[in-house]
């Protein structure tokens, strides 16, 4: 039993949650495996590709906001990974 | 009610209800130039739908400072018809929840049942409508996340047919199940908002055209209707009694027929749904690595999100092939086929929206009991059908919703049936 109010999760709680999640999934899997009438769930699609928009690159993204959202940016670039090359 | 009234209500009551996370600074200016089908209509937007310039936080520390860089397709359509975005609505963190408690920014109070959960995950959207913070709201529904809070808060909430409303700009919980939908005080306003947001969108890879919603037809009473009353025992029999009374009244007044219907594998719905959600959510959140925006989700999320991430990570391992997700896909097809069979004999399936009354905010509840709130709403998501929750009355002074489900792409018919029952 637990309350569902948000709180920070420490490593110990993460380990407990992981075990609990696995148990829940196992219980669900056990329940479903007992059902004999399950069949393959293929979906037939007439087309496997979709037509791209003509101006597929012009998505009207606000570049200024995008750069402000980034943890680190430099001019027109988001700096996402630094390393010694 | 005008925008000024809504803003006054927000100023007075949002500190208690906590439904709105951020106000739109342009709302007053937008009202002045509002024209179109949604002229003057004030709309709250769930915080997982992109609005250019507003915080699309998903109620999470991971994205608490993230601002939308574009308008989701549904937002573009709303603005194009003069809808006024009042602000971003609180929700369960990353839509992981059914109570409105898992938000990193505080839980949402139920405006019509003080001290009780508002439901989730579109908690703030439903509460905003109930509290007169707005005329309508957008939510998203994966397993009941529009219908559940609509039921608890005493308002109308609809999950449209899967693929009929563009998901472009929605931060997904589970991409094979998610659908954006309307929440409003009444069915007519729900229909109005849906008529604006639905329609084919090339930017959503599964988008489909669907029959246009005729708002005049929604107000007509359908004749020769056969209602399917779902045969399924729920936790609180008083809720079922309320639904049965409503059906009886409708049948007497409109000359409709009613028959009991069964979905034989309905008790598998929860066991089918959660493995799909765990896996698709885990997959869909790998982008939240803190590099281009936000923070790393694994380090900054709350317990329910962590549960789904760790669970999803575990069951997608190669060694578990065929045991979880694949099995759930098969069960999904079984349930969808059973529902399709039921629709050969009835026009709609009616049931309570939620099998029990909402619990109190912060009350201890097992994970299994929390998941069981979704037992009656999940099937519509698994089958891709349309479903709506309308107020059915109160039990212990707490609002209770009635769910009506129709076959895929019968959204107009669904709204017509719902409106007819609402008029009783």
Q: What is the mean pLDDT of residues A70-76?
A: 90
* Catalytic residue list contains B188: no
For residue B366, the chain A residues in CB contact (below 8 A) are: 1-2
CB pairs under 8 A between A and B: 155
- Give residue for tokens 């393959």: A40
C-alpha A19/C-alpha A15 separation (Å) is 6
**Residue B284: is it exposed, middle or buried by C-beta count within 10 angstroms (0-12/13-18/19+)?**
middle
Judged by a CB distance cut-off of 8 A, whether residue B123 touches chain A is: no
Distance from the B270 Cα atom to the nearest Cα atom in chain A, whole angstroms: 8
CA gap B219, B183 in Å, rounded:
18
Q: How confident is residue B321, by pLDDT bands cut at 50, 70 and 90?
A: confident
B145 included as an active-site residue: yes
Comparing CB atoms, the residue among A1, A3, A6 nearest residue B104 is A6
Q: For B281-288, what is the mean pLDDT?
A: 96
Residue A60: band (very low, low, confident or very high) from pLDDT cuts 50, 70, 90: confident
Is the model's pLDDT at B232 over the cut of 60?
yes
**Which pLDDT does position A79 carry in this prediction?**
87
Residue with tokens 């939510």, as numbered in its chain: B139
pTM of the full predicted structure? 0.95
**Residue in this structure with the two tokens 């899997």, named with its chain if needed:** A29
ipTM score of the complex? 0.90
**Min distance A6 CA to chain B CA atoms (Å):** 5
- The nearest CA of chain B is from the CA of A63 a distance in Å of 7
B174 counts as catalytic: no
Cross-chain Cβ contact A6/B306 below 8 Å: no
Residues in chain A within 8 Å Cβ distance of B319: none
CA end-to-end span of chain A: 50
Element (H, E) at B269: helix B269-284
Distance CA B151, CA B154 (A): 5
Q: Per residue in B133-142, pLDDT tens?
A: 999 999 999 9
| Ramachandran assignment for B294, one of left (phi > 0), alpha (psi -120 to 50 degrees), beta (any other) | left
Mean pLDDT of chain B: 97
- A80–B272: do the CB atoms touch at under 8 Å? no
CB–CB of B229/B261 below 8 Å?
A: yes
Distance from CA of A3 to the nearest CA of B (A): 4
Please calculate the CA angle B79-B82-B83 and round it to the nearest 5 degrees: 70
In B, minimum Cα distance to A60 occurs at: B70
CA angle B221, B226, B228 (to 5 degrees): 120
CB contact under 8 A, B368 and A24: yes
Over residues B362-411, the pLDDT tens digits come to 999 999 999 999 999 999 999 999 999 999 999 999 999 999 999 999 99
What are the pLDDT digits (tens) for B213-226?
999 999 999 999 99
Q: Quick check: B334 and A2 CB within 8 A? A: no
Q: Considering CB atoms only, which of A33, A50, A65 is closest to B53?
A: A65
Structure tokens at B393: 């009355």
Please report, for chain A, how many H helices and E strands are present, in that order: 2, 2
Mean pLDDT across B275-301: 95
Question: Quick check: A39 and B308 CB within 8 A?
Answer: no
State pLDDT tens for residues B113-172.
999 999 999 999 999 999 999 999 999 999 999 999 999 999 999 999 999 999 999 999
Coil/strand/helix, residue B259? strand
DSSP B38-100: TTT-EEEEETTB--BTSB--TTSGGGTT-BBSS--HHHHHHHHTT-EEEEEEP-SGGG--SSS
Phi, psi of B273 (to 5 degrees): -65, -50
pLDDT more than 70, % of chain B: 100
Put simply, the answer to whether A4 touches B104 (Cβ < 8 Å) is no
CB-based contact A32 B68, cutoff 8 Å: no
Q: How far is CA B243 from CA B111, B318, B421, in A?
A: 22, 46, 11
């Amino acid at each position: 039993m637990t309350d569902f109010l948000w709180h920070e999760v420490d490593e110990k709680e993460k380990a407990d949650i992981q075990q609990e999640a696995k148990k829940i999934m196992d219980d669900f899997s056990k329940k479903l495996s007992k059902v004999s009438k399950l069949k393959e769930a293929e979906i037939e699609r007439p087309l496997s590709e979709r037509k791209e928009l003509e101006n597929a690159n012009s998505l009207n993204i606000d570049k200024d906001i995008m750069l402000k959202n980034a943890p680190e940016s430099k001019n027109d670039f988001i700096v996402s990974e630094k390393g010694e090359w | 009610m005008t925008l000024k009234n809504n803003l006054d209500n927000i100023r007075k009551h949002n500190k208690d209800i906590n439904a709105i996370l951020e106000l739109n600074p342009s709302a007053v200016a937008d009202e002045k130039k509002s024209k179109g089908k949604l002229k003057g209509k004030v709309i709250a937007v769930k915080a997982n739908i992109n609005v250019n310039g507003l915080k699309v936080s998903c109620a999470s520390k991971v994205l608490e400072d993230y601002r939308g860089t574009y308008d989701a397709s549904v937002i573009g359509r709303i603005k194009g018809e003069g809808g006024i975005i009042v602000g971003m609505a609180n929700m369960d963190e990353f839509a992981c929840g059914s109570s409105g408690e898992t938000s990193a920014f505080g839980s949402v109070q139920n405006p019509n049942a003080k001290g009780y959960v508002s439901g989730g995950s579109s908690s703030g959207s439903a509460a905003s409508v109930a509290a007169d913070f707005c005329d309508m709201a957008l939510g998203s529904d994966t397993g009941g996340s529009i219908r559940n809070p609509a039921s608890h808060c005493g308002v109308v909430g609809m999950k449209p047919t899967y693929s009929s409303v563009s998901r472009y700009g929605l931060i997904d919980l589970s991409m094979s199940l998610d659908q954006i939908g309307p929440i409003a005080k009444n069915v007519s306003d729900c229909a109005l908002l849906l008529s604006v947001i639905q329609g084919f969108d090339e930017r959503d890879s599964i988008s489909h055209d669907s029959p246009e919603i005729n708002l005049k037809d929604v107000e007509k009473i359908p004749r020769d209707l056969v209602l399917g009353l779902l045969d399924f025992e729920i936790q609180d029999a008083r809720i079922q009694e309320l639904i049965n009374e409503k059906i009886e009244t409708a049948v007497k007044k409109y000359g409709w027929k009613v028959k009991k219907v069964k979905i034989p594998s309905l008790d598998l719905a929860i066991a089918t749904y959660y493995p799909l959600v765990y896996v698709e959510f885990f997959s869909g959140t790998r982008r939240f690595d803190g590099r281009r925006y936000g923070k790393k989700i694994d380090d900054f999320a709350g317990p329910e999100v962590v549960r789904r991430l760790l669970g999803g990570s575990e069951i997608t391992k190669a060694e578990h092939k065929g045991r979880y997700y694949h099995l759930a896909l098969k069960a999904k097809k079984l349930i969808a086929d059973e529902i399709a069979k039921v629709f050969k004999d009835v026009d709609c399936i009616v049931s309570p929206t939620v099998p029990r009354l909402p619990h109190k905010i912060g009350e201890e509840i097992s994970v299994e009991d929390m998941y069981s709130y979704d037992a009656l709403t999940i099937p519509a998501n698994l089958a891709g059908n349309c479903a709506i929750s309308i107020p059915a009355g109160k039990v212990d002074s707490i609002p209770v919703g009635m769910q009506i489900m129709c076959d895929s792409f019968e959204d107009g018919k669904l709204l017509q049936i719902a409106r007819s029952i609402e008029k009783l």
